[in-house]
């Protein structure tokens, strides 16, 4: 029972961490970033490079975040910004971008599966169970991340400006807010979060150019169910992640992989606006 | 017409939406510390003029000069940062944000937030008691006072006020009139007041212009003895 509980909490923390970047970009920019999976892969390879260079494995997290942020800024400026007036084309462009990033990674690093050194190995005793130290650390990291995002959105001027842009962009501009800059920063932040999440999950999974794809689909479902809010995403991660763990443990691992998508479809059928909206 | 010392100098301004031209060749100045009322019926182009001045709509012809600097092609946020406070007629406050956050957004960087907030709470004491309340829960009149309060937070050099009196009871209109006049006395702010309420406009403004079918049809000083009846004639036709 204890193991099951820890599995659910750690899975939820991982899902929250992975989906947060997608949610920030959707919330502020009304843009579904289909390159999210590719940014996860970039983070995974940033961790791989960290391992190859012989750096401390913890360095993978800031390194991935910086790489993701810089790439996000460049991509927003060059690809996303010219398409603001054409939202559907912007979504398609991020889809194409994801494919291009995947191909570039394949050219640079090859198609083969790589492994990354974990910052923490082994297991510790927790709640009377012997449990993976790294998965437990991810819960702490996920919690810090959630608090940091709430603080950024609700207790800083950037967060206030971003919320103003979300609610009424013209009114925000008329008050001196540079909405173009808010979008640029947001995309950079979303890409940094995705890339950091990629670095965080790679000690649990192997690294290959398409590592982000299954996570992209699950993240997308989680964000829709959350109603695009941080508390909503925490709850959605716990419910859908919990269901995934239960189905995987008691039914089959293959069905477990489909749980999030199927359950999300059912929830959205009942509550189309998501859990925490309206 | 184009006084180089004016806070706002609009000359030959033409703009509209798509193919439709809404305002044609409008020239208008507002001097430092001056309150100018722009009157006209619905659909005559009053709001379009303000949206063009703020850079939300591109000018087809003519230009907008603020404090001697041509801002005709500037983006709205750049124009707002020249200490211009624009209060639109509709969807002018963030309903889902708190009163405090709405006031905070009145300043681009919250630099003098505490100072200005204290002053605003003297002017509108009810706002100080409801800083944590969602702005959308205020009454219509309270929302208009919040709107003016937010504009004052910016320490504006120029206020562009779009039909603030619409739908308000006379006591609140009177209160807003006193605040605007007092603020002009205190800070020398220039105000372009777009209005349909002739009494309110003449009480507050030094000069008036009438906008009809996108053009300035008549103008004069508020001290003209027959100003009210002359404007009323224009608005009734």
Q: What pLDDT does residue A247 have?
A: 95
Q: Which of B181, B206, B194, B196 is nearest to B231 (CA)?
A: B196
Does residue A2 carry a pLDDT above 70? yes
Identify whether the C-beta of residue B146 lies closer than 8 Å to the C-beta of residue B96.
Answer: no
Does residue B1 carry a pLDDT above 50? no
Band of residue B4 on the pLDDT scale cut at 50, 70, 90: low
Looking at every residue in chain B, the average pLDDT score rounds to 93
Q: Do B80 and A175 touch (CB under 8 A)?
A: yes
Q: What pLDDT does residue A126 have?
A: 86
Interface check B108 vs A, CB under 8 A:
yes
Cα of B42 vs its chain's centroid, Å: 16
CA distance A244 to chain B (A): 35
Interface check B91 vs A, CB under 8 A:
yes
Average the pLDDT over A122-137 and give the result. 90
Which of chain A's residues have a Cβ under 8 Å away from the Cβ of B80?
173-176
Which of chain A's residues have a Cβ under 8 Å away from the Cβ of B75?
173, 178
Torsion of CA B72, B75, B81, B83, to 10 degrees: 40
Q: Which of A61, A129, A71, A126 is nearest to A101 (CA)?
A: A71
Band of residue B148 on the pLDDT scale cut at 50, 70, 90: very high
Nearest-10 crossing angle of helices A157-167, A133-155: 70
A19-64 residue pLDDT tens: 999 999 999 999 999 999 999 999 999 999 999 999 999 999 999 9
Does residue B43 carry a pLDDT above 90? no
Band of residue B172 on the pLDDT scale cut at 50, 70, 90: very high
Interface check A164 vs B, CB under 8 A:
yes
Question: B interface mutation test: which of A156, A160, A175 has the most B CBs within 10 A?
Answer: A175
Q: Do A160 and B101 touch (CB under 8 A)?
A: yes
| Out of A157, A167, A173, closest to residue B77 by CB | A173
Band of residue B237 on the pLDDT scale cut at 50, 70, 90: low
A147-187 residue pLDDT tens: 999 999 999 999 999 999 999 999 999 999 999 999 999 99
Looking at every residue in chain A, the average pLDDT score rounds to 94
DSSP strand pairing (B84-87 vs B158-162): parallel
pLDDT, greater one: B194 or B214: B194
Average the pLDDT over A5-12 and give the result. 95
B7-38 residue pLDDT tens: 999 999 999 998 899 999 999 999 999 999 99
Interface check B76 vs A, CB under 8 A:
yes
What secondary structure, in 3-state letters, does chain B show?
CCCCCCCEEEEEEEEEECCEEEEEEEEEEECCCCEEEEECCCCCCHHHHHHHHCCCCCCCEEEEEECCEECCCCCHHHHHCCCEEEECCCCCCCCCCEHHHHHHCCCCCCCCHHHHHHHHHHHCHHHHHCCCCEHHHCCHHHHHHHHHHHHHHCCCCEEEEECCCCCCCHHHHHHHHHHHHHHHHHHCCEEEEEECCHHHHHHHCCEEEEEECCEEEEEEECCCCCHHHHHHHHHHC
3-state secondary structure at position A270: helix
Q: If contacts are CB pairs under 8 Å, which of residues 146-165 in chain B contact chain A?
A: 150, 154
Q: What pLDDT does residue B234 have?
A: 87
Q: State the greatest distance between any 2 C-alpha atoms of chain B, in Å, as a whole number.
A: 48
């Amino acid at each position: 029972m204890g193991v099951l509980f820890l599995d659910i909490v750690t899975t939820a923390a991982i899902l929250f961490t992975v989906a947060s970047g997608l949610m920030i970009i959707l919330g502020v920019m009304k843009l579904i970033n289909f390159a999210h999976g590719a940014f996860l892969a970039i983070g995974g390879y940033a961790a791989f490079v960290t391992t190859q260079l012989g750096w401390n494995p913890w360095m993978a997290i800031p390194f991935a975040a910086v790489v993701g942020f810089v790439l996000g800024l460049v991509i927003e400026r060059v690809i996303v910004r010219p398409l603001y007036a054409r939202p559907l084309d912007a979504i398609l462009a991020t889809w194409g971008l994801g494919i291009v990033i995947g191909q570039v990674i394949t050219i640079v690093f090859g198609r083969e599966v790589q492994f990354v050194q974990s910052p923490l190995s082994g297991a510790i005793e927790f709640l009377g169970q012997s449990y993976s130290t790294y998965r437990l650390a991810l819960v702490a990291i996920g919690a810090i991340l959630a608090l940091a995002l709430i603080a950024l959105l609700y207790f800083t001027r950037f967060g206030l400006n971003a919320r103003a842009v979300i609610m009424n962009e013209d009114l925000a501009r008329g008050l001196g807010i540079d909405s173009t800059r808010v979008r640029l920063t947001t995309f950079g932040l979303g890409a940094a979060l995705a890339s950091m999440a990629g670095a965080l999950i790679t000690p649990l999974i192997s690294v290959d150019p398409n590592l982000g794809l299954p996570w992209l689909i699950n993240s997308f479902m989680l964000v829709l169910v959350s109603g695009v809010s941080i508390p909503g995403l925490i709850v959605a991660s716990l419910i859908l992640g919990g269901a995934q763990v239960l189905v995987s443990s008691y039914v089959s691992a293959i069905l477990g992989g489909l749980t999030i998508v199927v359950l999300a479809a059912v929830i959205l059928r009942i509550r189309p606006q998501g859990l925490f909206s309206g | 017409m184009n006084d180089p010392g004016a806070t706002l100098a609009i000359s030959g301004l033409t703009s509209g939406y798509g193919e439709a031209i809404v305002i044609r060749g409008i020239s208008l100045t507002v001097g430092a510390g001056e309150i100018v009322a722009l009157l006209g019926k619905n659909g005559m182009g009053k709001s379009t003029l303000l949206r063009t001045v703020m850079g939300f709509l591109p000018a087809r012809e003519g230009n907008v000069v603020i404090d001697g600097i041509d801002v005709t092609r500037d983006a709205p946020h750049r124009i707002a940062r020249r200490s211009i406070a624009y209060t639109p007629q509709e969807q002018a406050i963030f309903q889902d944000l708190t009163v405090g956050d709405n006031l905070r957004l009145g300043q681009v960087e919250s630099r003098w937030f505490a100072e200005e907030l204290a002053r605003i709470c003297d002017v509108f004491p009810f706002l100080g008691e409801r800083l944590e309340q969602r702005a959308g829960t205020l009454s219509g009149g309270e929302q208009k006072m919040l709107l003016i309060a937010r504009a004052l937070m910016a320490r504006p050099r120029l206020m562009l006020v779009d039909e603030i009196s619409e739908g308000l009871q006379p006591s609140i209109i009177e209160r807003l009139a006193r605040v605007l006049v007092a603020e002009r006395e205190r800070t020398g702010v220039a105000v372009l007041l777009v209005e349909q309420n002739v009494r309110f406009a003449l009480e507050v403004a030094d000069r008036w212009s009438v906008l009809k079918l996108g053009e300035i049809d008549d103008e004069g000083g508020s001290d003209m003895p027959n100003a009210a009846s002359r404007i009323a004639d224009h608005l009734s036709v």
